[in-house]
A and B are shown apart, each in its own frame.
Chain A
Amino acid sequence: MIEQDDQLKEFYWYIDILQNVDVGLAVLDKDYSIQLWNGFMENHSGHHPNSTKDQNLFELFPEIDEARFRSKAESVFLLQSSAFSSWEQRPYLFKFKTYRPITCTAPHMYQNTTIIPLVSTTGEVNHICVIVYDVTEEAMYKLGQENNASLNA
């Protein structure tokens, strides 16, 4: 009984952490309908989880290159292994504002994204999770250095 209570407590901690962690988490099904949307995604997109639930990802976010995203995600469904995208290939998946809209010179948030498979109890992958990392600081630093290098050359 006590063990169950502890497990339940841990479970709520996990929920709380996932809701508040400074990383975006979105669960999608095979039709690319949004199934889960954490606090980071809610706050940065301005879309409440209630209004994103069962909505099509590409309809809600027209900035996403559907063909490319699909081909990447299909491989995750098929191979049951993660796929990665770096800001250097593609500056962002979701067009969010930077965290510091006043003092940051970036026009948008730079993002690294990882897509991980979510394996069901029956061993199938019917859902994937998109993890969005804000890498604006790193990108601005690197772009700044590259800029300086090209000026000096």
Chain B
Amino acid sequence: MSTPVLICDDSNMARKQCARSLPDGWPVDVSFATNGQEGVEAIKEGKAELLLLDLNMPVMDGYEVLEAIRAQDLETMVVVISGDIQPEARNRVKQLGAIDFIKKPVDKDKLTSMLLEYGIIDAELLANKEQQIIEPQVAKDKPSKAPELNKSESKDSIKELDPQLRDCLQEISNVAMGQAGDMLARLLKVFVELPIPNVNLIEVSELCMAFASVEDFDETSGVCQGFIGSGISGEALLILNDSSFGDMAALLNYKGQLDDSAELEVLMDISNILVGAYLKGLAEQLDLHFSRGAPVVLGQHCDVSQLLEINNQAWQRTLAIELSYAIEDYPIKCDLLLFFTEDSIPHLAHHASYLLDD
């Protein structure tokens, strides 16, 4: 009898990675859901004796799924698999009824030993090495993968981002921002809310639109830091709205008057944590090494549009990853934007292809 297992994650790459991490020789019937709502439907259809659940999803997130399971008394065992590795996130999902928590990317041995521990699989069964894993979706997705990435490499100018590369970068960013968020949470002793990273190829003219969300705040300050390595170069830009400084400084235990230089220190500290942790996470996953330049303050207390009136001629298109961090119970919002130069994209695709290899 095969066990119905449901993998609920918005990222295609994460779903595949998760399916590959299931113990060998375990007879399972795997189904997939791309958001919480689909997930809940699938549970109702009895497709989830075991549910492997992501937290960060559109439509309905993992917390809401856990609440729905509890409210509707649905029968399933939930293991949360998430890039959000804050201790608080772990506590919350356990309180909501998840049996355990595994960080992304999923470690096969860890998942196996956990399933053994909870008696979901037994050791005898694993010794019996027959492969009966049914992964219709995974199998279907396989062939198209590699050639697509190569295609975008051969083009001189890239008009559109390969959907697989986008998905891959989004998932990698998700894990990397989770690591950065965890650092921030530990430092400030707060719970950091992590939204879904936004990955886009944007034109210079569109860049201002990408900032529209930040524009709501009157004044912002930004720090930017360049990075380069293995043919990939770009910049990380951290934007903090000025109204956040007071709270942020209080959380960081800054004593004394909060003048411009103290604010600058807060900005530098936060940017160093977030940019450093994000780039470290990204580099580790893609097996790269970056040199980081010294951070540069772009503007203190200026309009965002002014902040962006930087340099328009030198580049045409950029791969942008937007991450917005918010801190629960505080009106603090900071945006981390990563811009990769256009000529970095083929190199990113090349390194990402190792992750997509089955």
* Chain B interface helix/strand/loop/mixed: strand
Are the CB atoms of A103 and B231 closer together than 8 Å? Answer: no
CA distance A22 to B292 in the complex (A): 8
Q: Is B136 an interface residue (CB 8 A)?
A: no
CA distance A35 to B95 in the complex (A): 59
Contacts of A97 in B (CB 8 A): 228, 233, 341
- What residue in chain A is nearest B320 (Cβ atoms)? A102
Contacts of B315 in A (CB 8 A): 101-102
Are the CB atoms of A102 and B339 closer together than 8 Å? Answer: yes
Contacts of A104 in B (CB 8 A): 226, 311
Are the CB atoms of A107 and B314 closer together than 8 Å? Answer: yes
Size range of the interface on A? 20 to 34
What's the least CB distance linking B95 to chain A, in Å?
A: 43
Are the CB atoms of B231 and A99 closer together than 8 Å? Answer: no
Q: Is B65 an interface residue (CB 8 A)?
A: no
Are the CB atoms of B226 and A98 closer together than 8 Å? Answer: yes
Q: Which residues of B (221-277) have their CB < 8 Å from a CB of A?
A: 224-231, 233-235, 237
Q: Is B59 an interface residue (CB 8 A)?
A: no
CA distance A99 to B310 in the complex (A): 15
Q: Which residues of A (30-70) have their CB < 8 Å from a CB of B?
A: 39-40, 42-44, 46
Q: Is B212 an interface residue (CB 8 A)?
A: no
CA distance A42 to B291 in the complex (A): 9
Are the CB atoms of A43 and B226 closer together than 8 Å? Answer: no
Are the CB atoms of A99 and B289 closer together than 8 Å? Answer: no
Q: Which of B229, B233, B289, B311 contacts A103 (CB 8 A)?
A: B311
Are the CB atoms of B228 and A99 closer together than 8 Å? Answer: yes
Q: Which of A43, A100, A107, A134 contacts B224 (CB 8 A)?
A: A100
Are the CB atoms of B228 and A22 closer together than 8 Å? Answer: no
Q: Which residues of A (72-107) have their CB < 8 Å from a CB of B?
A: 97-105, 107
Are the CB atoms of B291 and A22 closer together than 8 Å? Answer: yes
Q: Which of B225, B228, B235, B314 contacts A43 (CB 8 A)?
A: B228
Q: Is A146 an interface residue (CB 8 A)?
A: no
CA distance A49 to B298 in the complex (A): 34
CA distance A97 to B341 in the complex (A): 11
Q: Which residues of B (315-345) have their CB < 8 Å from a CB of A?
A: 315, 318, 339, 341
- What residue in chain A is nearest B290 (Cβ atoms)? A43
Contacts of A100 in B (CB 8 A): 224-226, 235, 293, 296
Q: Which of B226, B314, B339 contacts A99 (CB 8 A)?
A: B226
Known: A101-B315, A102-B310, A107-B314. A134 touches B230 (CB 8 A): no
Q: Would you list 5 pairs from A and B whose C-beta atoms are within 8 A, ordered by A residue?
A: A43-B290, A44-B291, A101-B339, A102-B318, A103-B224
